[in-house]
Amino acid sequence: SLRTFHAVLLAYKNSNHPSAPTRATNVLKKLNTIHKQYKDASLQPNEITFNTMIGIWSKTSSKAGVEKALAFLEYMEKTQGQIKPDMITYYTVHEAIVSYASSLCREIAAASKQEKDQKEEKIMNLVQKATELYNHVEHLYHQKRNRRKEEEQSSQPTTTSSNPISKSDSSYYFFTKKNHEHLLSAVKSSLS
């Protein structure tokens, strides 16, 4: 079942083993193979699958981790709503970028002039992408908040909101904001 695959992926996400991302990617490939072979819609990877994969790769604090996280995000965005990225998706990709950029900032002090210039260019590109993701998280958060306010003000009482802003949405927004500010501060310190 898909839940079983998710449990395996979550185990890899919680693992600190260096081969966890590669092994998890192999599990995802196996899931895709089984889904296609049996044409079983219940085995189709979904938001949880991809958010978990992004989380696994984001823990690597590496260029490869950022590239994989961005590739998964791009894939999700291209599915035309079948696998829709959510606030967790953008938050986790943002975290991958922040983690890698922060490691580059720490390496700058010991770098030669040529290496420093290369790292600074990488960092600035990462900051640009992180800012895009932060803006996306902020947009989603405010969109949900405004939709909730409109529903509350509507003359038709509803028992539950169709798109409520949850505590986790608020947490992801504020964590993304805090981490983005931390990234900008780290970049400013390392480049000055």
Each residue of 132-170: pLDDT tens digit?
A: 999 999 998 888 888 888 877 875 555 554 555 677 888
Q: What would the DSSP string read from start to end of 62-120?
A: SHHHHHHHHHHHHHHHHTTTSS---HHHHHHHHHHHHHHHHHHHHHHTTS-HHHHHHHH
Q: Give yes or no for a contact between 165 and 142, defined as CB atoms under 8 angstroms apart.
A: no
pTM: 0.85
Sign, Cα dihedral of 33, 36, 42, 47: positive
The pLDDT of residue 149 is 82
The pLDDT of residue 16 is 86
Each residue of 36-55: pLDDT tens digit?
A: 888 888 888 899 999 999 99
The pLDDT of residue 114 is 87
Closest CA to 57 of 37, 34, 75: 75
User: Residue 157: what residue type?
Assistant: P
Closest CA to 189 of 84, 102, 95, 119: 102
User: Mean per-residue pLDDT for 73-82?
Assistant: 88
pLDDT above 80 for 94: yes
The pLDDT of residue 133 is 93
The pLDDT of residue 157 is 52
